[in-house]
Amino acid sequence: PAVAEASVIGVRDELKGEDVLVVAVLKQHITPQMQDDIANEIRQLVRERIGPIATPKAVHFVSMLPKTRSGKIMRRVIRAVYQGDNIGDLSTIEDDATVDMVREAIAMLRSDLS
């Protein structure tokens, strides 16, 4: 109930070949202090319902997801940002700022892991 919308993508992983990454938008009433608990809850829920193999490698929170003007989430953009690949054509993106939001969330996670 804390997540308003989310995107789940597969990303390269040296050990598994591919791993799961979640990028989610939280509902307005969620405080930043609750984010770790929500990320752990998401991981646990996936582990219980789908299995350990599908447990997300990481859960990132952003204020908006990159979407096309017709409202489709641009998962390829999220994947490209995470993997450091070329983002490609963004002519159909609704808001360019969402790409920077994803970049910042991923950079923060990487700095926390270092």
How confident is the model at residue 112, as a pLDDT? Answer: 66
How confident is the model at residue 90, as a pLDDT? Answer: 94
Taking residue 37's Cβ as centre, other Cβ atoms within 10 Å add up to 11
- Both structure tokens of 102: 């994803």
How confident is the model at residue 16, as a pLDDT? Answer: 87
CB 26 within 8 Å of CB 36: no
What global pTM score does this model have? 0.84
How confident is the model at residue 13, as a pLDDT? Answer: 87
The CATH superfamily holding the domain 3-113 is ANL, C-terminal domain (3.30.300.30)
Q: Domain ranges for the chain, please list them.
A: 3-113
Per-residue pLDDT of the chain (114 residues; tens, 9 = 90+): 799 999 999 988 888 899 999 999 998 888 878 899 999 999 999 999 999 999 999 999 999 999 999 999 999 999 999 889 999 999 999 999 999 989 998 888 777 655
* CA gap 112, 91 in Å, rounded: 33
How confident is the model at residue 33, as a pLDDT? Answer: 82
Comparing CA positions, the residue from 49, 48, 60 lying closest to residue 20 is 60
Taking residue 97's Cβ as centre, other Cβ atoms within 10 Å add up to 11
